[in-house]
Structure 1
Amino acid sequence: MKQIEKVLYDGFTYIDGGVCAAKGFRANGVYCGIKENPTKKPDLCLVVSDKLCRAAGVFTSNKVKAAPVLVSKAHLEQTGGKAWGMVLSSKNANCCNADGIDKANRVCELAAEQMGVQPEELLIAQTGVIGQILPIEPFEQGMGKVYDGLSAENHEQAAIAIMTTDTVPKEVAVEFQLGGKTCHVGAMGKGSGMICPNMATTLNVVTTDCAISAELLQTALSDVVQYTYNCLYIDGDQSTNDTCVVLANGLAENAEITEQNDDYAVFRQALYIAMSNITKMLAKDGEGATKLLECTVTGAKDRENALAVAKSVIASDLLKCAMFGADANWGRVLCAVGYAPAEFDIDQVAVTLASRAGSVDVCKNGAGIDFSEDIAKTVLLEDEIEILVSVGDGPAAATAWGCDLTYDYVKINGDYRS
């Protein structure tokens, strides 16, 4: 799978290192045997800081919440938004189990014993099959191993350990300046299916060495998630385990951000860059996907209306199928625009399909126009497709991300538990 082309931003530089790009963070991923796995792919990971962090999180709004979600939320409340790090595992969601909370707490205790900290000072996320009892023995056998291997170089092993049906690990890191100090934001994420908007879809860990108050860290995360992970749509099924956590240890030694000033704006932009890149990686690696779809809506009267239209288009199964077949069936775009919970004049709607192969206008003033089907086919055969929708002459714009719907999606989900 081709890598996402990262957009360049003034004052920000992409660097290597993932969640360990920020000062004072170490990570590791190991195979501990949560599920039989002949390839021994890592299924347990730790991300830890050398200093107690300010921590913020957003979690699934599904009424069925997995045990690790409930435990992490409780730990953030108990500590007032502080954590040394996070333990994550794959293959088993630890959801809908009578002993789930006890098991999640025990996993935190095992990690805390290795680190010499309190269990409530650790957060936890788990992913995999729902409704299967989580065996605790693999964690008891593997926690020492994953802790002993912690290093700044093992960030990719950590990213691999949280993969389920993902085909590639997903990492990004960015460097920037605050008050003459060099700061970093790094991230890793997982998610390929069971992804629906309006939550911090999937499992994601974001780290930074920026000094920022717990309150503003939560404010920034809650804000940025609305325009990144919450604009990601794969299949309409919202997970029970969705988690996104940001850890800030302050080791960059910038003046602590305690108000929404210029420094806050720079930090928020760095957070947006990291989270939007992970969002696009998640979309491109959707279960069975062959194409990344990006819908950008312009001309809306406000951001909320633009977001509603973009999400509606990217969620259309009929459109996703058409993009898989490289079929410029623009009527499916207009149909999805029409049932979006948004206010606009349908007679002003225009649609353009674009990719690195070129672009083709297919609709203006709410009606079809003549276009070359051959050119459109060439545009849509690329693996990254832009769906550009204008709904008027308003000032607002928004983008949502998804993927095509293919035969392989059904195959993957037809035998997911095997």
Structure 2
Amino acid sequence: MIKAEEAAYTIIENGNVTSPSGFQAGGAAIGIRKHNKLDLGWVYSDIPAAAAGVYTLNSFRAAPLLVTEESVAFEGKLQGVVVNSGIANACTGEEGLANAYAMRKAFADQLGIQLQHAAVASTGLIGVQLSMDKIISGIQAIKDEGKADDFAKAILTTDTCTKQVAVSVEIDGVPITIGGAAKGSGMIHPNMATMLAFVTTDAVIPNDMLEQLLKKTTDNSYNMITVDGDTSTNDMVLVLANGKAGNKELNPTHPEWEKFSAAFQYVSQELAKKIARDGEGATKLVEVHVQQAKTAADARKIGKAIVASSLVKAAVYGADPNWGRIITAAGYSGASFSPDKISVWLGDSMVVQNGNPTLFDEAEASEHLKQEAVLITIDLQEGSEEATAWGCDLSYDYVKINASYRT
């Protein structure tokens, strides 16, 4: 976890995917979603950009994901991404795959870019075919001018807010910018979820190094969030680096690689946290920090198990300092640790010490659980590794939203 006081980057106010040089984005309402909501978005780089992606581990992989994976694998470059919301184009068979290819071709033709430099993504209802007349006419109406805020809105489904962030970091004496936008609210339990994230940067970095960085960062960001334990068919993170900043090529031997990596990780973690906070029906962001673990994998397992526990989530919603649910989740996480060494804090209130309950002020602990941001700290006293996971509480509204999602 990156601490703000150690950061060597600057957070850009109202930053987004077009904050880096050479990127444009926009969105439009093409009639897939109700009430004239924006439902077609695009991001475009002035020049082909080094690209990398990570994708869902769900066995049912949506058609647009397959098409995008093919594009990225072709030569490790992308120049544009088009996204529709409202329909996921998942579990749609050969017709759905053909539609995803048609969507890519129409987008590449409209922008005048190589077919393999175009990527597609979709999010929404599973098992429904795309309205291709709306998709194609919408793509053909794309113009150079656009608004990044419209892109961020166009990719949403049940989200209650847009999720955008950007930072600037100086590398080789020149400013480099990293920006991003994401969507996700329900069906969130990555090893990748109905989670889409798009990150742009004007850094010079080859696609193999970008892919390496993305995979490492994903383990500490997108794969450390959960809302409801469901992993989707469509989740994807794409990164485009167009090199317009003009720095020396970044790789692990570059003297400022760690500085760039920290800025990149911050963008990914912020997008991940925004998704967790916007969980369907959520009222609070829950952060679980696990420290002094034997291995990083153990720390991740415990953190993820706690934020995923429906009983923990319900207790947080009710502001009930029921620490028994927390240690139970840690116990079934599959991590290796000694139960008689574990200590637990709710905010500043220690509720368990060395595996035993402590006397604590329940009112104080409950008050912490009423806050918009809830921190649970686990100290295993087993080693030097740590990890942080993010989730949300479980409210009545989660059931309401998902009981009527199709209607």
Whether these two folds match at TM > 0.5 is yes
Question: Following the alignment from structure 1 to structure 2, what is the Cα–Cα distance between the partners of residues 82 and 197?
Answer: 25
Q: CA deviation at 1:148?
A: 1.1
**Selected match of 2:171 from 178, 182, 196:** 178
Match of 1:19 in 2: 17
Residue in 2 aligned with 1:3? none
Aligned to 1:10: 7
- The one-letter amino acid of 2:292's match is G
1:378, distance to aligned residue in structure 2 (A) = 1.2
How far did residue 263 of structure 1 move?
2.8
Aligned to 2:228: 235
Q: Please give the root-mean-square deviation of Cα atoms over the aligned residues, in Å.
A: 1.3
Match of 2:393 in 1: 404
What 5-or-longer segments of structure 2 have no aligned partner?
none
| TM-score, normalization by structure 1 | 0.94
The residue identity in structure 2 corresponding to 1:87 is V
Alignment of 1:46-125 (within 5 A): 46-78=42-74, 80-98=75-93, 99-125=95-121
How many angstroms apart in 2 are the aligned matches of 1:412 and 1:22? 36
The yes-or-no answer on 1:413 pairing with 2:402 is: yes
1:187 aligns with 2:184: no
Residue type of the alignment partner of 1:25: F
Verify: 1:144 aligned to 2:140, yes or no.
yes
Please state if 1:219 is matched with 2:212.
Answer: yes
Partners of 2:194 and 2:8 lie apart in 1 by 28
Does residue 384 in structure 1 map to residue 377 in structure 2?
no
- Compute the TM-score of the two structures, normalised by the length of structure 2: 0.97
Deviation at residue 201 of structure 1 after TM alignment: 6.2
Q: Which amino acid aligns with 1:368?
A: P
> Residue by residue, what CA displacement relative to the aligned partner does 1:111-139 show, whole Å, maximum 9, x if unpaired?
11111112221111110000011110111
Identity of aligned residues (%): 40
Q: Any idea what SS the aligned residue of 1:183 has?
A: strand
What is the CA distance between 1:57 and its match in structure 2?
Answer: 0.2
Q: What is aligned with 2:123?
A: 127
Query: Aligned to 2:287, which of 294, 309, 329?
Result: 294
Task: Write the distance in 1 (CA, Å) between the matches of 2:187 and 2:62.
Answer: 14
Q: 1:42–1:161: 8 Å Cα contact kept in structure 2? A: yes
Alpha-carbon distance between aligned partners in 2 of 1:268 and 1:337, rounded to the nearest angstrom: 30
Structure 1: unaligned runs, 5 residues or longer: 1-5
Secondary structure of the structure 2 residue equivalent to 1:127: strand
Q: Deviations over 1:76-128 (max 9, x none)?
A: 122x1111021111000001112111111111111111111122211111100
SS at match of 2:66: helix
What per-residue deviation string (whole Å, max 9, x for no partner) do you get for residues 266-296 of structure 1? 2211110000001110010000000100000
- SS of 1:250's partner is coil
Q: Distance in 1 between matches of 2:355 and 2:254?
A: 42
Offset, 1:8: 5.2
Counting matched residue pairs gives: 403
The answer to whether the 8 Å contact 1:59/1:200 transfers is: no
